[in-house]
Amino acid sequence: MTTAAIAPARAASPSAEQAPRINDFSIVAATVNGSGSQTANMAIIRALFRMGIPVSGKNLFPSNIQGLPTWFTIRASADGHLARQETAEILVAMNPATFLEDVKNLPPGGVCFYSDQFTDGLDRSDITYYPMPVQALVREQEPPKDLRDYIANMAYVGVVAQLLGIEIEAIRGALMTHFQNKTKPVDLNLRMVEAAAAWAKANLVKSDPYRVRRDNRTSGKILVDGNTAAALGAIYGGVSFAAWYPITPASSLAEALQDYLPQLRTDPATGRATYAVIQAEDEMAALGMAVGAGWMGARAMTSTSGPGLSLMAEFAGLAFFAEVPVVIWDVQRMGPSTGLPTRTSQGDLMFARYIGHGDTLHVVLLPGNPTECFEFGWKAFDLAERLQTPVFVLSDLDIGMNLWMTDPLTYPDRPMDRGKILTADDIQALGTYARYRDADGDGIGYRTLPGTEHPMAAYLSRGTGHDEEARYSERPEDWTANMERLWRKTETARQYVPAPVVDRLPGAEVGLIFVGSVDLALQEARHQLAREGLATDSLRIRAMPFTAEVTNFIEQHDRIYVVEMNTDGQLRHLLQLEAPAHAARIGSVRINNGLPLTADWVRRAIRAEEGG
Amino acid sequence: MTTAAIAPARAASPSAEQAPRINDFSIVAATVNGSGSQTANMAIIRALFRMGIPVSGKNLFPSNIQGLPTWFTIRASADGHLARQETAEILVAMNPATFLEDVKNLPPGGVCFYSDQFTDGLDRSDITYYPMPVQALVREQEPPKDLRDYIANMAYVGVVAQLLGIEIEAIRGALMTHFQNKTKPVDLNLRMVEAAAAWAKANLVKSDPYRVRRDNRTSGKILVDGNTAAALGAIYGGVSFAAWYPITPASSLAEALQDYLPQLRTDPATGRATYAVIQAEDEMAALGMAVGAGWMGARAMTSTSGPGLSLMAEFAGLAFFAEVPVVIWDVQRMGPSTGLPTRTSQGDLMFARYIGHGDTLHVVLLPGNPTECFEFGWKAFDLAERLQTPVFVLSDLDIGMNLWMTDPLTYPDRPMDRGKILTADDIQALGTYARYRDADGDGIGYRTLPGTEHPMAAYLSRGTGHDEEARYSERPEDWTANMERLWRKTETARQYVPAPVVDRLPGAEVGLIFVGSVDLALQEARHQLAREGLATDSLRIRAMPFTAEVTNFIEQHDRIYVVEMNTDGQLRHLLQLEAPAHAARIGSVRINNGLPLTADWVRRAIRAEEGG
Amino acid sequence: MAVDTATVNRIGLEKGDYRGLPTTLCQGCGHNSISSQIIAAAYELSIPPERIVKFSGIGCSSKSPAYFMNRAFGFNTLHGRMSAVATGATVANRSLRAIGVSGDGDTASIGLGQFLHFLRRNVPMVYIVENNGVYGLTKGQFSATADKGQVLKKIGENPFLPIDVCQMAMNLGCGFVARSFAGDPKQVKELIKAAFSFEGTALLDIISPCVTFNNRDESTKSYNWGKEHAEPLQDVTLVPAREEIQVDYDPGTGSSVELHDGSILMLRKLHRDYDPTDRMEAVRVLEESRSAQVLITGLIYFNPTQPVLQDVMHQVETPLAALPEASLRPDAASLEALQADLR
Amino acid sequence: MAVDTATVNRIGLEKGDYRGLPTTLCQGCGHNSISSQIIAAAYELSIPPERIVKFSGIGCSSKSPAYFMNRAFGFNTLHGRMSAVATGATVANRSLRAIGVSGDGDTASIGLGQFLHFLRRNVPMVYIVENNGVYGLTKGQFSATADKGQVLKKIGENPFLPIDVCQMAMNLGCGFVARSFAGDPKQVKELIKAAFSFEGTALLDIISPCVTFNNRDESTKSYNWGKEHAEPLQDVTLVPAREEIQVDYDPGTGSSVELHDGSILMLRKLHRDYDPTDRMEAVRVLEESRSAQVLITGLIYFNPTQPVLQDVMHQVETPLAALPEASLRPDAASLEALQADLR
Ligand SMILES: Cc1ncc(C[n+]2csc(CCOP(=O)(O)OP(=O)(O)O)c2C)c(N)n1
Ligand SMILES: Cc1ncc(C[n+]2csc(CCOP(=O)(O)OP(=O)(O)O)c2C)c(N)n1
Ligand code: SF4
Ligand code: SF4
Ligand SMILES: [Mg+2]
Ligand SMILES: [Mg+2]
């Protein structure tokens, strides 16, 4: 029995005469997690990308290992708008548990590819249905038993490719990349794709408007997730010590370090590692280890998410006060508490800025895409060593774990900045040394590194009150002077942190301020708003402390809205403190539902504020 | 050889004809810590208090057990101004290591009682010197060897009492209290006091203007430290579970619980404890235990200081999100990091308000004196159970460990508020139960307590996203609805927290806002300023979230200054966020040197802001 | 309504009354099989589910309290911090029976300190470590109980010695130390029943294979390894207090220990003589099991003489959480009296 | 300048070159006497102070790095968190010799988890627990090593069993486990010298009386108790690698172990035969010492075969902290190459 026989062509279509929609749609693959659909989805994304079509992939997955619903959304956009969309036009339905709901979510005119075992929910007359004889196709291919589930997913790749016009060659290329050029798995998977495509060609009649067409809008771009980019950034920033503790969505950052370091940072002479990565027993220990290593002079980092950040509060305060360079990545997920481990949020802005009891004030970098994760990956070390302080980098699940089409990772344009360090010779020449003396008036003292072979080089680092020579002191003047110097230092930081990214439209009276992954949706919304006649300027903040541009931008605009993804309007709060003169007119537009932002929501929210 | 023989009368005096200063001076006893001067200082304070003279005691001690300088300042003030003063007029010098410095700090006209072993530093002609033959007096008394140091300090009590006119009977009473009416130690100590007084009478000629005279300005008042009052407040609030970890300056709070609970809360029928106090292995565990007990339905608390607070971040977030009533005392010391364990500060305001990753926002109470420590000690439980949330109480080292003359502790004026709790019968009647349903629209759901014997009563408490029935949920709507309810709840909190204390002067255009232990110095400064022609109003905030009075007060005043004891101006920041319309004109006056505030400093600072 | 005694227990509840929500763990996960035995044990002991309180940390294992006994209250706490919460909760209400389910990462990695202090305090609770040598929920990193030399797909080889939670428990003076294997449901169930009857911390280290990330045959935490290397010290059967003892061993073929509620745990001898009340013997068997790489299961150590935390603290029997205001708030006169000292 | 060989060591330094700031601890505190022996050990071993790095947590004991070797860098970290910082620091620079001083509260109460994971990783450091059974710096509360039944003035009686850090170290596979008594300065010094010569974690549990809060005769952490109950296993003497061995025992009167740098620790037999390389014997002696309430001191366990963390991780010998930019930053071509996969 051939698959053709068991699955008769059947494509109910509401209106065959719709105008074609080329390279502009979202596909959502509804699967069960742990069923291996990742390979299938990656193949589609990479194939589209290699056909020159801007594309993004966003995975909505449960905090669970196997058996619960997962939705993977692939957006193709000729215009390069790659935010999540509120509805996907095309559904690939592989999960019986969510099928009815998934079908309901399709917009009129939508398309539904479904595993032909489903029998209910096939009654919407305003969408196009395509059955897929997944089980039959799998049976025909006879894959090894433990790979059945994976291979089954390739069936939808083939059917969808056939109906949308994705090139099989592009899929082969995508698989080659995925399987690191190992031909055996590539062939196994590709055979299924081809069989499914052939079946579709023979049995299905194209009756929907969605199509892809080769284009050239991805050249010079790369497809990468932020955690991988961050790890690479750290490596090209010379990370020599990383300690971490597993936590979603940060684990893949440390795991990428472990993947890439052996190839990039093995000493050719000895075959030994020029780095150390330690899986610590918890996040407190992870940061503690990184603080020890940073104090020693290594480029040290840790990476975590909300709960881990909470555990780091005490060490963050120590690093701030003892002035130890260390880099802390927080790939934000939904909090408070354990919250939603697999949902995105920008909820740690306030906490990271002030973390630790007493008067702490931290430097925070805020990448907006994987390219910046790379850039801040190395710059964070320069900053940490220049400022002798912990530097927090706040990414989020959307940037960190989803696949972004983004600018290539640019090799650092300058040598490493190791900051102010005195050698034994320097100390010999100076004839004196005081660790915490503000010789340059910028609040930053000179470090010596343990092992410096000079009798005057050593000091005892501490979290307790101290004088300029790091000796314990309870004298009120010593304490006050030290805190004032630290304050100067946080001011000094302003001149070193990355400036915001500003984009202006002629005649704009409205200014939109935001950070991080809001970018995609916000820029798309600005286009929509502009088309509707509302010109807006945008300013994407990339660091705290804020730089002068921020207050200027606020001053320059009649109406300011801070667009952010948390409940309390944390960025707005931080801006109100930065620009108290304007505090009352800094508007807030916020959402915190765990999903990557959509342009539609931003547009509607701004419209509502602007009175329609 | 009698002491009279070895220590000839000698009192160099600059000007014997100064006007007498009655009941208005500060004495500083400069000693070595670990030498047992606490009994001596307490005896003087209590004696003054019982003579009807308003008095306070502030101990400036090192973070060390034995051998380093300690200064204990006793202020007597007929007007009842009991803040620290910048200089003490009377020095009791027992520490050779600091003697020269201590003498230098005396103001012209000051008085120096010194152990007659000191030979340098006796050359200031503008002060009065009185030698004290401490060693000789001790030798005469022949105290048990291990008590020698303690008894030695009583020598200065006797000399000072004689010269200032402190009644020996009052000192005996003070010692009776100190030694809980055990006559043996009282007699031993008193003998030394009397011998020293007798020696002074015989050998010293009074030639300074400072004197005490019996008055009646302490009646109805008590002398107590804030930590003791807080512990009593908790006990009268029905605390049934406390977990803690030792840390200065919070330890004495938990230790006072352990002292008082056995007498106040032993079940008469069984002789068993109606409470549990556990010394945990660290602060994380301490709060974790309290959260477990609070969730069970006990009135649960913990007490700590900065470093411990940092360790509590993760559990604070859990308690907030799982909505567990628990009370957390933070007796603030100087941070960041280990900082200065024995110095006071108001540096945890920001951190406590926001502690925890994600969108957390905590209820914070801010007592201003020991009487309020008692009051908030019991009210905090009512609030925590009413709001089903952690309640932080921020005291500080000055309030917590120093001796304050304050209003008596007032027995609770209402029954305990256990908040919304459903019993098995309630559930039976309702026929349904959902832990996190907002039935009343105030954001507060109904709790059931574990053990409630109804098949529908149970729920699984969690820090993860959940629906109204506490079941795990990743649905965006569930998350959003829950966060919005929590937000409503923090708004509801405004109507339950204690209102600020406002004090107005006619015609005041300047408003001063502050919290906590700033009170003493600020009120004294207001008197001084008023005398100088600058009328001010004051508002002492006693809780976050702020209540409506706060914004009103800001609106009512042309000029607003926030007076606080931290480096970053944290209270000002919090007020700027509360009243953004006024953010720019909320002025800041702050100091953070570890010492209790003085009226002189406040007056000067306000003067400087007001242009002279 | 007539009760069908065949399908209900002594208090008239059906097994279904002990069920939880449907599991969301992987099919075949050892943790699911342990949940079933917890249900069976509580059902067979006829403990009212409302008199049980459940605790866990964070992890796949720690999710399982959602999957048993819906009618029991529970607290799914923080990663590695179940111990503290359970301590506070059980002190606040000593009348409930507590069961905690944790993972090896939760207990032996992040939670090690709290776990040991919990044991030191002898907090009365059945403490189950669902030990799979791996972090399941974060997708397969090593935990501190992973074997030295063990290989995981994503991470490579583990170079560190495993932490043996039973040895730790011995060091901390725990009075009920047992090890079992999720592939031996009968033993798991009987040990849980015994643990429920013990007053004090009862530690059960149950090898509970993670079929998704650590079930290769060479892993000591896999089903196949467990099946091949499990060596029960005894065949265990709990005889509840009120039942007559049916089993009677011939001399030398078995022994028994009595639990605090009067139940008897019958220990039928298998391959060797073993006295679980002999401390040095227990220490030795654990060392041996470790070096010989066998999975010794059963009741390893038993010592019912130590007082529980609540007794150490001389607490009233009434749950602290249930004390009325009259017991909690001393009277006004007492406040006046003690303020006399402050005047 | 002629060097007076009588007052300088092999590298020409005087003992004064190993001094720290004046102590601020109480007179008679055991910690001070240990500081002196640390100074003496480093001086006698002729380790350049600049090649030593000091660590501590928070407590009276943890203050002591300020009181020895001013010329050595150090990090006075957080309460209970010395282990993590020392791990990171020694991994970042494996060329320095590390010594950590902690208290019993710091190590066995708040720091227990980190301490055990530190041991498990075999981080090369001399780890001294200045064990006084009490929190000195916070004025006399019980730590987790306090004896059961011990009475403290402020707190009352301790109802819990003490944690034995040496037993813990045995469980975690530590290769150098020793116990000593601050009242036996010679033994303290020789053991510190041996520990400095050991590659791996060398744990020294030194009973170090707190004269202010826990020195009553009945306390096992007091001077008098120590003097009366100390039972050295051996008389220990370290013979540095380059010195000729002078001591030679008659057969049966002593033995020795060789340390990683070639030095020999001579163990002169005292009351009994004791082989510190026998693991079960060490476990037994610790159990015995605990139940018999004697203070067994000396080298309890020795196993030099385990690789240190840095070798487990195949690190280069060069300190990571000293690698030049050329070693740290891969070249531009490599970045281009790997991005090919992302296109
Ligand atoms: C503070 C914190 N760090 C990290 C995590 C992420 N996390 C969740 S479960 C888990 C490990 C679980 O391992 P285990 O306890 O062995 O349970 P299993 O899943 O194997 O049953 C980790 C690291 C977290 N939730 N909280
Ligand atoms: C997080 C934190 N909690 C509490 C403290 C207060 N504290 C300082 S030292 C100490 C105990 C020290 O005991 P131990 O380690 O035995 O040292 P010892 O003073 O006895 O030498 C405590 C609890 C702190 N500094 N940090
Ligand atoms: S990942 Fe492993 S531990 Fe988690 S549910 Fe699946 S099998 Fe069980
Ligand atoms: S208090 Fe105890 S531990 Fe601290 S310095 Fe004094 S004697 Fe030593
Ligand atoms: Mg596990
Ligand atoms: Mg100690």
Query: What spacing in Å lies between the alpha carbon of A415 and ligand 6's midpoint?
Result: 48
B417 shares contact with chain A (CB less than 8 Å): no
Determine the pLDDT at residue D28.
96
- Residue bearing the CA closest to ligand 3, atom 2: C210
Determine the pLDDT at residue A465.
98
Give the integer Cα–Cα distance in Å for C270 and C257.
16
Determine the pLDDT at residue B334.
98
Average pLDDT over residues A29-42: 92
pTM beyond 0.90: yes
Ligand 2, pocket-test mutation among D78, D135, D158, most atoms within 8 A of CB: D135
Query: What spacing in Å lies between the alpha carbon of C111 and ligand 3's midpoint?
Result: 19
Torsion of CA C131, C132, C133, C138, to 10 degrees: -110
Q: What is the residue-averaged pLDDT of chain A?
A: 95
Give the integer Cα–Cα distance in Å for B317 and B243.
18
B406-443, pLDDT tens digit by residue? 999 999 999 999 999 999 999 999 999 999 999 999 99
State if residue C213 touches ligand 3 by the CB under 6 angstroms criterion. yes
B223 shares contact with chain C (CB less than 8 Å): yes
Helix (H, G, I), strand (E, B) or coil at B14: coil
- Top residue of C167, C279, C314, C315 to mutate, by most chain D CBs within 10 Å, is C167
Give the integer Cα–Cα distance in Å for A29 and A25.
13
A596-610, pLDDT tens digit by residue? 999 999 999 999 999
Report whether A350 contacts A497 (CB < 8 A).
no
Around Cβ C222, how many Cβ atoms within 10 Å?
22
Task: Find the radius of gyration of the CA atoms of chain D.
Answer: 21
Residue B264 tokens, joined: 């106040």
Residues near ion ligand 5 (Cβ under 5 Å): C 103-105, 132
Report whether A365 contacts A493 (CB < 8 A).
no
CA nearest to B461, candidates B351, B359, B356, B326? B326
Per the CB < 8 Å rule, is D137 touching B245? no
Residue B178 tokens, joined: 């100190």
With cut-offs at 50, 70 and 90, classify the pLDDT of residue A58: very high
Average pLDDT over residues B389-418: 98
Average pLDDT over residues D132-142: 96
Determine the pLDDT at residue B3.
37
Check whether D285 has a pLDDT greater than 90: yes
Q: Worst-scoring range by mean pLDDT, A243-252, B28-37, B491-500?
A: B28-37
B219-242, pLDDT tens digit by residue? 999 999 999 999 999 999 999 999
Partner residues linked to B460 by β-bridges = C74
Check whether B252 has a pLDDT greater than 90: yes
Residues of chain C with pLDDT under 50: 1-3
Report whether B12 contacts B125 (CB < 8 A).
yes
Closest listed ligand to the CA of D31: 4
Per the CB < 8 Å rule, is D172 touching C161? yes
Query: What spacing in Å lies between the alpha carbon of D223 and ligand 6's midpoint?
Result: 14
B111-140, pLDDT tens digit by residue? 999 999 999 999 999 999 999 999 999 999
C294 shares contact with chain B (CB less than 8 Å): no
Which residues are CB-neighbours of D286 under 8 A, at least 6 positions away? D164, D166, D167, D170, D296, D300
A565-578, pLDDT tens digit by residue? 999 999 999 999 99
Q: What is the residue-averaged pLDDT of chain B?
A: 95
Give the integer Cα–Cα distance in Å for A253 and A265.
17
Closest listed ligand to the CA of D212: 4
Query: How close is the nearest chain B Cα to the Cα of D138, in Å?
Result: 6
Average pLDDT over residues A295-301: 98
With cut-offs at 50, 70 and 90, classify the pLDDT of residue A2: very low
Check whether A355 has a pLDDT greater than 90: yes
A320-344, pLDDT tens digit by residue? 999 999 999 999 999 999 999 999 9
With cut-offs at 50, 70 and 90, classify the pLDDT of residue D248: low
Query: How close is the nearest chain C Cα to the Cα of D222, in Å?
Result: 23
A414-424, pLDDT tens digit by residue? 999 999 999 99
What is the DSSP track for A204-232? ----SSEE-----TTTT-EEEEHHHHHHH
| Ligand 1 atom index nearest CA of C57 | 15
CA nearest to B156, candidates B100, B74, B77, B97? B74
With cut-offs at 50, 70 and 90, classify the pLDDT of residue D243: confident
Is cis: bond before B307, omega within 30 of 0? no
Which residue among A239, A272, A318 sits closest to D78, beta carbon to beta carbon? A318
Compute CA D94 distance to the chain's CA centroid, rounded to the nearest angstrom.
17
Determine the pLDDT at residue A128.
97
Give the integer Cα–Cα distance in Å for A311 and B312.
8
Give the integer Cα–Cα distance in Å for B453 and A173.
63
Using CA coordinates, name the residue in chain A closest to D316.
Answer: A272
Chain B 563-582, residues with CB within 8 Å of chain A CB atoms:
566-568, 570, 573, 576-577, 580-581
Per the CB < 8 Å rule, is D78 touching B307? yes
Average pLDDT over residues A335-356: 98
Per the CB < 8 Å rule, is D161 touching C167? no
Determine the pLDDT at residue D272.
83
Give the integer Cα–Cα distance in Å for A15 and A5.
27
CA nearest to B545, candidates B579, B517, B522, B516? B579
Using CA coordinates, name the residue in chain D closest to A262.
Answer: D314
Give the integer Cα–Cα distance in Å for A203 and A207.
13
Is cis: bond before B133, omega within 30 of 0? no
ipTM, interface predicted TM-score of the complex = 0.97
Q: At which residue do the structure tokens 């990184």 appear? A: A290
Check whether B9 has a pLDDT greater than 70: no
Average pLDDT over residues B181-209: 96
B216 shares contact with chain C (CB less than 8 Å): no
Determine the pLDDT at residue B448.
98
B51-107, pLDDT tens digit by residue? 999 999 999 999 998 989 999 999 999 999 999 999 999 999 999 999 999 999 999
Using CA coordinates, name the residue in chain D closest to C122.
Answer: D160
SS (H, E, C) A309-356: HHHCHHHHHHHHHHCCCEEEEEEEEECCCCEEEEEECCCCHHHHHHCC
Which residue among A235, A287, A296 sits closest to D89, beta carbon to beta carbon? A296
Average pLDDT over residues A357-370: 98
Check whether D181 has a pLDDT greater than 80: yes
Percent of chain D scoring above 90 in pLDDT: 85
A454-480, pLDDT tens digit by residue? 999 999 999 999 999 999 999 999 999
Average pLDDT over residues B143-159: 92
Instruction: Specify the DSSP class assigned to residue B411.
Output: P
Determine the pLDDT at residue C5.
59
Check whether A12 has a pLDDT greater than 80: no
State if residue D300 touches ligand 4 by the CB under 6 angstroms criterion. no
CA nearest to D211, candidates D220, D219, D222? D222
C317-339: burial string, b at 16+ Cβ within 10 Å, e else: ebbbbbbeeebbbbeeebbeebe
With cut-offs at 50, 70 and 90, classify the pLDDT of residue A252: very high
